[in-house]
A and B are shown apart, each in its own frame.
Chain A
């Protein structure tokens, strides 16, 4: 780094203080053996195992800031059931997630009828992915500043009657979206987006923070070639006090989702499409038939309004969706959420 700066010393005004020490980017010892073992567990399917380490330094007039984020592991399988996971390297639950990833697709599945509207329980951390789409992206500063979000102008409004808090927390180093300062050198701090269901925070880089008059700290770069843009980090919903089993037990008929394969929000209609990979039908409070892959849809504000006040006491990280793509640029993000129920969603 020092050599790089000295090469451009005539163009740069080097800030005071020494540059941060060089950090080893090599994978940890034994990584290759671990990767081979993981690939061997893929039940005969082709698999790609990646170790992703990123280091960056932000050099500004007033000093140096090293951007540190945890090393990540990405597993992708191809062939019959294309699926993937993203997790922090060293995450103690990684082994269990890999086992879940390679579990064969259930047989004798049931496909809910298109057009069916029913209560849907988001279990096993899938509520985090739901709120990532419904709230996380839609409070990013660039969308808010340009009015291109259905949540624009709703600051202070109750979006949901569930008294949930929703926090974007880059300090959660066990989740893939963690960093100690953003790519503009702003130290990482949690931002509360919803407090007891009320919209109260935005996610901004330095530029949009000025426009929206909120603190910066979410300027993230997809890579060195791209300027920082407002992006979320790790969305966290604190635990409620309802055992998830009792949320399911109170349901006469509905669906419980245990894994997503993708989620999007259509910018023109503000409707979200959630691709369900795994789940179950619930009848009289009990899980019945496993679900075949299908999609759920609904309007953003309607879904938020239909979140049930009962919040599970089981905050669970999502491991399935981690690469979040915005404007074609992927970036690691994370989420952790307890079981939540949406009282009415439509099957596509």
Chain B
């Protein structure tokens, strides 16, 4: 398409009609160190799938996200309704079957392979956003609600609010045995609670504040999803972005909303906060934003800016999944019962051992990082006593953050492996539960009682295989990260690389052994 240029011959003949431009004397943007800062994370131009006209046309379509959300929206409102009104047999109820035998596992597959694919089609945020924008897909100029910003006192902790929400939800899930699955109505109430919370946040705060800070899954997807092969929407030419006078990708224009996730494609260096909503792509006046794919694990290894919230999220989420493995062991059951007796708490899980277990693992990881700090003295950055949690720097953080990024594949594999038994044992029940809605499925059907893998040993083998893959990936990422960021001043690069990879290996082995032990306990 031919575009008018300010200095085209035709334009020169026109008289000055916009004197505002003469009075604008904005400074040039600071470009010092720009290349070094972003070169490691900038995807290759050849990996921009939006260069294909058909893909571009799909991405530019305002109905795209609506079409992604709609099927999930229908399914989850069915989940709410059928969970409350349908059969109380969890395996036969569509709500519990689709949620716990299929969806939760699929979410992990999507995050490991793509990143925030689920966020692009999430019915919870999608519903809130439809209400907030009072439109299913059109670009509206006003929004419903108060439009507040998340206070800095909360926002500075990034994903940690989400981790808190995930820990709380998981505790509730364990307490009421929702995902067991237990009573289908519990699943309905849980989904309703998430939809309601999302709606409340969308009406109080602006953009996707809920998805960015509060959604129970956002920390998990943001950290584990960095293993994914979709880099997200990024700039094609950073100079164009820096000199852009309107920043429509952030503010929005007639074609698209400003980024609901507070992410600027011009400075995005990982896929952690790109919700793949396509709004920036639609809004960019210069066609300077692409949808890039990347090699797996790139967003784990490459970012030059390590985020403290991601690191602590990884440590705490690792603690949570370890807790969920340990709680199947007999020794733990005795501890939990003992605590319940002495704290007059009615049943599993006792909050004390729940918190202690999760934070214990996180603190253990922090202690190991501190050990690295002691052993490998490096040229760590000068400490910055910033009042903001995210911008503070310290010698400890210079080890803790890279090491936690390094074990992301172990944590990701662990969460995925933990969902496998339900998937492998009960996936056929999803089909039966759909049939049951039409009066044809029953617990006595052969399909209901069939499994993808029925034997305990088979499931353990798959889980261990997943952990082997995750551990190998974590060893590789730890090796690469340590080689780049943790090289000691007076020591061997290899030593720190072996140590970091060793941490990943030990983490993976512990998890794998726990899978063997917990299945034996079962």
Q: Judge: A and B partners, yes or no.
A: no
Residues of A within 8 A of B (CB): none
